[in-house]
Amino acid sequence: MTERPLTRNIYPDRPPMNLKEYENTGGYAALRKVCSTMDPAALQKLVQDSNLKGRGGAGFSTGMKWSLIPMGDKATHPKYLIANADEMEPGTFKDRLLLEGNPHQLIEGMILAAYAIQADIAYVFLRWAYHEAAALIRKSIQEAYDAGYLGTDILGSGFHLEMYLHTGVGRYMCGEETALLNALEGKRATPRAKPPFPQISGLFGKPTIVNNVETLCCVPHIVNNGAEWFKGLSYSDDGGTKVYGVSGKVKRPGAWELPMGVTMRELIEEHAGGMKPGYALKGVLPGGASTDFLTTQHLDIKMDYKSVAAAGSRLGTGTMIVLDSGTCPVGFVHNLQHFFAQESCGWCTPCREGLPWVEKILLALEKGDGKPEDIELLQMHTQFLGPGNTFCALAPGAMEPLQSALKYFMEDFEQHVGHKKCPYD
């Protein structure tokens, strides 16, 4: 049976565990082990050896990211550790499962990560709409303080950590780590120029690490079971399991913890139950709304960082959005571009002006007012709003579903122009 360390104690018909119940299943054993037997450098190396890659979308080595923060007596303090729980990528709901299902798992992972970088203060930066998660996290943080897992001289180790919950104001841009830092400082959520990177000058100009919820939840299990065990959970070079999701017109939409590298076909046909009667698979956004479409020819690729990239897309958050044969690709992409245009922070001209232009063109196509040159304009935007032309990755991410829709579903765009209406109406 496949091991599911992240979700084995999450049950849909039961409330999440309190502190005592979490401890009875081995909770905080990893923290006790680290405080008594490991120094920060050893913990950093263990996580780096495990091949844990960031689960927020970028897929950067977690241990390597930690290693970039200044350490030793001359390091600047306070240092900060932040859990990015601002899950606002359309189609993504994996972190919500972990936050609501086992909040102490996240808190223990955060304390361990903070120990590894010798952080003084930790924040959970939570999506504003996750009200249930907010209540659970507040309660769990207090339980951790009462048990001596947070505060001064944790478990007699000499390590001190304060932890706080901060709920965001509901902007997609807050998920970008430097915009998140600005939001935490009470400023407008716009991305920062890099360098300096947050590891050197982050929150309030101090060394900071920002990690995704799912990433941090992996850390206690790596400490308890070792790097080789974690690598052995995977079907690929990327270590561990992954919480994958599928939404759209499938029989059983949902989220499942599976070995990293499971195929797209297994996810859709076995776990999601295949397509609903009367619908066929037309395309898939494999990692949330800001990834390129893949099609039926890609069903047997492994859902890991390298394999999805080789197929022309990104693993992203690993939460698929399925496009079915009864849904118009142009309308599908228009819906996404409306979201991205609305969520642009307006900091740079290409994103601020380009995304509303793209959204307007797609709306005209859907209404039957499109012209042949509109398709050329859309293709132009995929280049001008692509990587290297904007201040951050929001607009390039928005262009991924558009550029791949033009690649795989050009006939649908042309029919909108030729028929002067949406052929799916």
| Range of the structural domain that residue 383 is part of | 329-419
pLDDT of 356 reads 97
Q: Looking at the structure, do residues 92 and 28 belong to the same domain, yes or no?
A: yes
Residue 141 to residue 103: CA distance in whole angstroms: 9
28-75 residue pLDDT tens: 999 999 999 999 999 999 999 999 999 988 889 999 999 999 999 889
Least confident residue range of 48-52, 130-134, 171-175? 171-175
Does residue 392 contact residue 176 with C-beta atoms inside 8 Å? yes
Residue 46 to residue 325: CA distance in whole angstroms: 46
Q: Is residue 88 part of a domain?
A: yes
pLDDT band at 135 (very low <50, low <70, confident <90, very high): very high
73-84 residue pLDDT tens: 889 999 999 999
Q: Is residue 13 part of a domain?
A: no
pLDDT of 170 reads 83
And the tokens for 124? 């959970």
Q: Where are any strands of DSSP class E within 225-299?
A: 241-247, 254-259, 281-285
User: What is the rounded average pLDDT of the residues 142-161?
Assistant: 97
232-278 residue pLDDT tens: 999 998 999 999 999 999 999 999 999 999 999 999 999 999 999 99
Residue among 93, 405, 372, 61 nearest 255 (CA):
93
Q: Looking at the structure, do residues 110 and 184 belong to the same domain, yes or no?
A: yes
Q: Looking at the structure, do residues 285 and 371 belong to the same domain, yes or no?
A: no
And the tokens for 259? 């070995």
200-222 residue pLDDT tens: 999 999 999 999 999 999 999 99
Q: Does residue 2 register a pLDDT over 80?
A: no
Residues 6+ away with beta carbon under 8 Å from 237: 51, 304, 306
pLDDT of 425 reads 86
Domain boundary among 181, 212, 232: 232
Q: Looking at the structure, do residues 250 and 297 belong to the same domain, yes or no?
A: yes
Q: Specify the amino acid at residue 253.
A: P
pLDDT of 58 reads 81
Q: Is 24 exposed, middle or buried (0-12, 13-18, 19+ CB in 10 A)?
A: exposed
Strands of 241-247's sheet, edge to edge?
254-259, 241-247, 319-324, 281-285
User: What is the rounded average pLDDT of the residues 170-190?
Assistant: 93
pTM of the model as a whole: 0.95
Q: Does residue 307 register a pLDDT over 80?
A: yes
Q: Looking at the structure, do residues 204 and 320 belong to the same domain, yes or no?
A: no
CA atoms within 13 A of residue 132's CA, in its CB half-sphere? 10
pLDDT band at 15 (very low <50, low <70, confident <90, very high): very high
Residue with tokens 């104690």: 9
N residues, the chain: 425
105-114 residue pLDDT tens: 999 999 999 9
As a whole number, the mean pLDDT across the chain is 96
Q: Is residue 425 part of a domain?
A: no
